[in-house]
Amino acid sequence: MSALSNRIRWLRFEHGEMTQAELAQRIGMTRQTVAAIEQGKYSPTLEAAFRIADALGEPLEAVFQWNGDGPSARMPPQT
Amino acid sequence: MPFREKTAWIMLLSTLGVYGVYFFAFGRAWTAGHGAGFGLFAPMVATVVALVVVQIVLFVWAAALSPSDARAPVDERERLIDLHSARAGFAALQAGVFLALVAVALGIAPALAANVLLAVMVAGEATRSIWRIAGYRLGAA
């Protein structure tokens, strides 16, 4: 499992219960890839991550979180 | 099952099935002492033609079951899975070719050597398909 977690499923729910297929169509990916990203089985490229955040109308850091133990994980979120 | 995973299964099963028939026939001829006269060209061409026909029919059938999936462009995860599987298939091919060369150096019959090389190519293709299926099942992270 990746150290990258995400809130895509929750954010889809908040955006009018957007389906995986709808999100996939908006970002030019397959539904299976969206499902794999949601489940943490696949870490998207930076470009795809930005496209997902854009489709959900959220900043990148609201969609993806890094759970590693490096400096970026210790950094408090900006307000 | 997603369309692209289905195509990987089709590649794997059709390759193993069609070449399985070919190698079974060759094996029977070889053990009966007619291996050298089995005729490499005609059976191999017939096998390739049969494989192409089987795969076209099955791909069309799979695409008809999920036309939108079949039309969807390949995305980054699928490209990554393809790259990983191509690398695994090539590694299997390299190892097999090395073993086949050792067998040739040991002096196996030309007809057997040709079929060993063909089996190596089939094993490489099967490895690639297995890796693709694993990639689709387990993710490509």
Tens of pLDDT along A14-46?
A: 888 889 989 998 998 988 899 999 998 889 999
- Could you tell me which chain A residue has the CA closest to the CA of B2? A32
> Cβ distance B3 to B66 under 8 Å?
yes
User: Taking Cα atoms as reference points, which of B138, B139, B130, B118 lies closest to residue B26?
Assistant: B118
Q: Does the interface predicted TM-score (ipTM) exceed 0.85?
A: no
- Which tens digit of pLDDT belongs to each residue from B76-94? 999 999 999 999 999 999 9
What pTM, to 2 d.p., does this model score?
Answer: 0.80
> What letter does residue A18 receive in the DSSP assignment?
-
Mark yes or no for CB contact A29/B75 under 8 Å: yes
Tell me which chain B residue has its CA closest to the CA of residue A2: B141
Query: In angstroms, rounded to a whole number, what is the distance separating the alpha carbons of residues A42 and B131?
Result: 16
Is pLDDT at B44 greater than 70 in this prediction? yes
Q: How far apart are CA B74 and CA B123, in angstroms?
A: 25
Q: Are A41 and B139 within 8 A, CB to CB?
A: yes
Would you tell me how many other CB atoms lie within 10 Å of the CB of residue B89? 21
Question: Are residues B140 and A36, on separate chains, in Cβ contact within 8 Å?
Answer: yes
What Cα–Cα distance (Å) separates residue B113 from each residue in B1, B41, B77?
39, 14, 38
